[in-house]
Amino acid sequence: MNYRDALSYIYHFTDYEKRGFAAYAPEFYSLDRVRRLLALLGDPQDAFQAIHIAGTKGKGSTAALAESMLRAAGYRTGLYTSPHLHSYRERIQVGGELISEGDVARLIHELRPVAEQIPDITTFEVMTAMAFGWFAEQAVDWAVLEVGLGGRLDATNVISPALAVITSISLDHMLILGDTIHQIAQEKAGIIKEGVPVVSAPQPDEALAVIEAVCQERAAPLTLVGRDWTWQAGRSDLDGQHFAIMSQSEVLDDLWMPLLGRHQLVNATTAVAALRALPGQAGTLPPSAIRAGLHDVVWPGRLEILNRSPLVVVDSAHNGDSAEKLMAALEEHLDFQRLILVLGASPDHATPEMLTALLAEASAGTATQSHHPRAAEPTWLRERAAELGFHLDCSESVSEALEWALAGAGPDDLVLCTGSVFVAAEARLAWFEREGIELPPLDPA
């Protein structure tokens, strides 16, 4: 089995990321299947300590920040995130390095006869088991695990973590997780375990009430960012931002990271608060490791500046809340004349809130479609925009949309490519190919 064969095998199972997520119910998302699979593999998830991160937005950034700081402190780290930008291998990293193609092929070859003993196993469940197996084989000290969807029924929720983290909760995946903040928060709070400490980012009152109630019910100590840990923004430029993080007992000043936006200050504070809540020596990371980890974090596709004249930015914002935070960050950190928008999204994410947040400030824009099977047709997006009083042109591909935007951009303008992680990824590739920049690792077509 080679890498291409392994990917084909992984994706031949039920893949909710590509076909659309089913109702969040045990008949579709079964922890029993994952537990059986892991038991047959020798329960690799018991071989390492874990930080488990759920939330609507910010969980990937928080995971990347936490992993980077642990690695800077000398720990052998694992990082499990989803979705990926360019290669499946991005989802499973050890020590900051992507899992190799050869190891993916070998692990799937070994896992295959076991997975075939479990009816109805899904793509994400197989991915998760493989990640846990790789982390155990690589003898990681700490694994930072991002929830795929929700929390309560997510395949990652079979672990016994040292800490649970809940990042910002907002309305997203409403047809699956519920159409109120309360319902969505209940699913996210499903990662909270009996007696296991919890760190939460600032939350809407309705979400916080749920988290506090579940923590009290399960005797889980709660640390709340915005109350127990706070932050102070400093100067910033196009390369990154300076800031400070503090609690009642500690001040960490002169911090810097390459991630822009106030929301990333919240994510960084949440990551630091999470590390300080860890048991044992990990909870006493030296400030030098925190500074180095924040400084060196790599998390592309999030307010990533590809060019400066004109400004070319890619971002993975895909709901109303993240679109509003993106626009606030652009206003705070970037100086530009006109905003030219390249927009692609799935139908369930192209809400009036998301479209209005992005289109209200745009001087011109084009709807486009990524190669993802759930991406909306450009004409459909144009119609949704028109219903809100905005005009969009149409482009058949992200690369074509980027060329359209660049052709109309002056040196002081901003070209923004956003609406989904897949649009951000394809815009990155189109820019790299256009400029002759070395491409990142890619999967076979």
User: What would the pLDDT profile of 173-214 be if each residue is shown by its tens digit?
Assistant: 555 566 789 989 999 999 999 999 999 999 999 999 999 999
The structural domain count of the chain equals: 2
Residues 126 and 261 in one domain: yes
- pLDDT attached to residue 445: 78
Does residue 442 belong to any structural domain of this protein? no
Does residue 386 belong to any structural domain of this protein? yes
Residues 79 and 208 in one domain: yes
Judging by beta carbons within 10 Å of its beta carbon (0-12, 13-18, 19+), is residue 288 exposed, middle or buried?
exposed
Q: Which of 233, 264, 296 is the last residue of a domain?
A: 296
- pLDDT attached to residue 29: 73
Does residue 36 belong to any structural domain of this protein? yes
What is the SS3 string spanning the chain?
A: CCHHHHHHHHHCCECHHHHCCCCCCCCCCCHHHHHHHHHHCCCHHHHCEEEEEECCCCHHHHHHHHHHHHHHCCCCEEEECCCCCCCHHHHEEECCEECCHHHHHHHHHHHHHHHCCCCCCEHHHHHHHHHHHHHHHCCCCEEEEECCCCCCCCHHHHCCCCEEEECCCCCCCHHHHCCCHHHHHHHHHHHCCCCCCEEECCCCHHHHHHHHHHHHHCCCCEEEECCCEEEEEEEEECCEEEEEEEECCCEEEEEEECCCCHHHHHHHHHHHHHHHCCCHHHHHCCHHHHHHHHHHCCCCCCCEEEEECCEEEECCCCCHHHHHHHHHHHHHHCCCCCEEEEECCCCCCCCHHHHHHHHCCCCEEEECCCCCCCCCCHHHHHHHHHHCCCCCEECCCHHHHHHHHHHCCCCCCEEEEECCHHHHHHHHHHHHHHHCCCCCCCCCC
Q: Domain with 96 in it: what CATH number? A: 3.40.1190.10
Residues 315 and 400 in one domain: yes
- pLDDT attached to residue 37: 96
Token code pair at residue 395: 């482009």
Residues 128 and 256 in one domain: yes
Residues 290 and 367 in one domain: no
- pLDDT attached to residue 318: 86
Contact residues for 55 (Cβ-Cβ < 8 A; gap 6+): 62, 147, 165, 166, 167, 168, 169, 188, 201
Residues 46 and 19 in one domain: yes
Q: Which of 245, 270, 296 is the last residue of a domain?
A: 296
Residues 332 and 252 in one domain: no
- pLDDT attached to residue 19: 57
- The answer, yes or no, to whether the previous bond of 197 is cis (omega within 30 of 0) is no
Does residue 440 belong to any structural domain of this protein? no
Q: Of the candidates 49, 324, 74, which has an alpha carbon nearest to the alpha carbon of residue 197?
A: 49
Cα gap 349→372, rounded to integer Å: 14
Does residue 313 belong to any structural domain of this protein? yes
Token code pair at residue 114: 């076991």
Residues 128 and 239 in one domain: yes
Residues 251 and 395 in one domain: no
Would you write out the chain's pLDDT as a tens digit for each of its 445 residues? 999 999 999 999 876 666 555 555 666 778 999 999 999 999 999 999 999 999 999 999 999 999 999 999 999 999 999 999 999 999 999 999 999 999 999 999 999 999 999 998 999 999 999 999 999 999 999 999 999 988 999 999 999 999 999 999 987 655 556 678 998 999 999 999 999 999 999 999 999 999 999 999 999 999 999 999 999 999 999 999 999 999 999 999 999 999 999 999 999 999 999 999 999 999 999 999 999 999 999 999 999 999 999 999 999 998 888 899 999 999 999 999 999 999 999 998 889 999 999 999 999 999 999 999 889 999 999 999 999 999 999 999 999 999 999 999 999 999 999 999 999 999 999 999 999 999 999 999 7
Token code pair at residue 422: 């897949």
Structure confidence by residue, pLDDT tens digits, 292-329: 999 999 999 999 999 999 999 999 998 888 899 999 99
Residues 269 and 393 in one domain: no
Residues 405 and 256 in one domain: no
Q: Which of 296, 328, 343 is the last residue of a domain?
A: 296
Does residue 262 belong to any structural domain of this protein? yes
Does residue 443 belong to any structural domain of this protein? no
Residues 243 and 314 in one domain: no
Q: Looking at the whole model, is its pTM more than 0.85? A: yes
Structure confidence by residue, pLDDT tens digits, 56-85: 999 999 999 999 999 999 999 999 999 999
Sign for the pseudo-dihedral over CA of 380, 431, 60, 332: negative
Does residue 412 belong to any structural domain of this protein? yes
Q: Domain with 402 in it: what CATH number? A: 3.90.190.20
Look up the domain containing 138 and give its range: 3-296
- The answer, yes or no, to whether the previous bond of 83 is cis (omega within 30 of 0) is yes
